Amino acid sequence: MADADLGKSDFDTADSLQQMLNTLYTMIEKTSLTAARMDEVRRAKERDRDMALCLDPKKIDAEFERIRKAAFQVGEDAEVGVKLNEARDHLSGWQGLAADAFRAHLKRFESFATQTQHETVLRAMQSLGALFAMAYHMRQSYYDLGVAVRAAAEHEIDEQHKRVDKLKLAIGVDFVKAAFSMDAKNLGGAGVDFALDAVGALGEFAIEGNDADYVIDEYIRRSNSLHDTFVSNLEQLSHRVWREWYDQVNTVDRELKVLEPLPVICDIDSPDFSYRNFYTEEYPKDGPFVGKVEGERKKVAEQHERDNKINKRLAGRE
């Protein structure tokens, strides 16, 4: 996504709040307000700056794109699906319990890649979308708040007879519910800015009045409201991510047979392996090929036994 779509930069956001603070200082100095209010607005501005910049839309966008690519890599059109089909085709002529178990395990891998893992990745994309919407609107809201408060303060000190009548702030907006209301299946080809459309219109507010104290009080009130909105959404998103992780670990992963090892009859190095469980029409389970393979396997086992450390030392070869 183009940089222009990623919202306000660190500098733009911080500079708007700093200019607001400078103007509030001037207003306080030129009115009858006490210097104690300077400390009050300074603390509020520092909290606003930290809150506004704690999430970086560019980094969230980069992570979204990385996971979006991963979604395709583990999705239905993924290369892993091609490889699994090739392996299954190569084994189409093999018969027996071991061959059946191996093919069944390949099918589990395919199901894991195209369904379970793919859906998990899409849910991660939803979470990042919600996080991006918060980061984007946090910066925009604090930037707009700085502009509006500065204009109101300038009006009070007669430096500039203008006022921003309305500003759009994300007060009370539930980003998380909006982002998770979208169908995750549609996210594979979507950019992270899908979340901005999901949020919808923000609330309109005005800072009005002809009193310096009122301007500061309104700034503090809007600042607290924005802070509470974003903290609430971050907590909701955190709980959602932890709940999905818990469900994944305690439900999905526990039921995934793809994580279980194949039976020992599929392991050619196992004494339980037998060509009676893994054969073709060309190499039948009772044909001469079986005896030759068993003989060679026995030689390899005997050689391995001779080459272990204990036997080497006993034979004076180590």
Residues 269 and 165 in one domain: no
Residues 121 and 250 in one domain: yes
**Residue-level pLDDT at 317:** 62
**Residue-level pLDDT at 256:** 64
pLDDT bucket at 1, cuts 50 / 70 / 90: very low
Spacing of C-alpha 308 from chain mean position: 48
Residues 77 and 100 in one domain: yes
The answer to whether the CB of 81 falls within 8 A of the CB of 113 is yes
Residues 44 and 104 in one domain: yes
The answer to whether the CB of 57 falls within 8 A of the CB of 135 is yes
Residues 254 and 300 in one domain: no
**Residue-level pLDDT at 145:** 92
**Residue-level pLDDT at 283:** 75
Dump pLDDT digits (tens) for 89-148.
Answer: 888 888 888 888 888 888 777 777 666 676 777 778 888 888 888 888 899 999 999 998
pLDDT at residue 54 above 80? yes
Residues 46 and 107 in one domain: yes
**Residue-level pLDDT at 252:** 58
Count up the domains in the chain and report the number: 2
For residue 307, the enclosing domain spans 264-314
- Lowest mean pLDDT of 154-158, 217-221, 253-257, 269-273, name the range: 253-257
Dump pLDDT digits (tens) for 136-153.
Answer: 889 999 999 999 898 888
Question: Higher-confidence residue: 50 or 194?
Answer: 50
Dump pLDDT digits (tens) for 293-302.
Answer: 677 777 777 7
Average pLDDT score over residue span 213-225: 89
Residues 83 and 179 in one domain: yes
Residues 202 and 241 in one domain: yes
- Please give the model's pTM, rounded to 2 decimal places: 0.62
Residues 57 and 119 in one domain: yes
Residues 295 and 167 in one domain: no
Average pLDDT score over residue span 16-36: 87
Mean pLDDT across the chain = 78
pLDDT at residue 75 above 80? no
Among residues 234, 259, 284, the one where a domain terminates is: 259
**Residue-level pLDDT at 273:** 77
Tokens 């439900």, located at residue: 251
pLDDT bucket at 240, cuts 50 / 70 / 90: confident
Residues 237 and 172 in one domain: yes
Cα–Cα distance, 225 to 170 (Å, whole number): 9
pLDDT at residue 161 above 60? no
Residues 190 and 310 in one domain: no
Dump pLDDT digits (tens) for 167-214.
Answer: 777 887 887 777 777 666 666 566 666 677 677 667 777 676 567 888
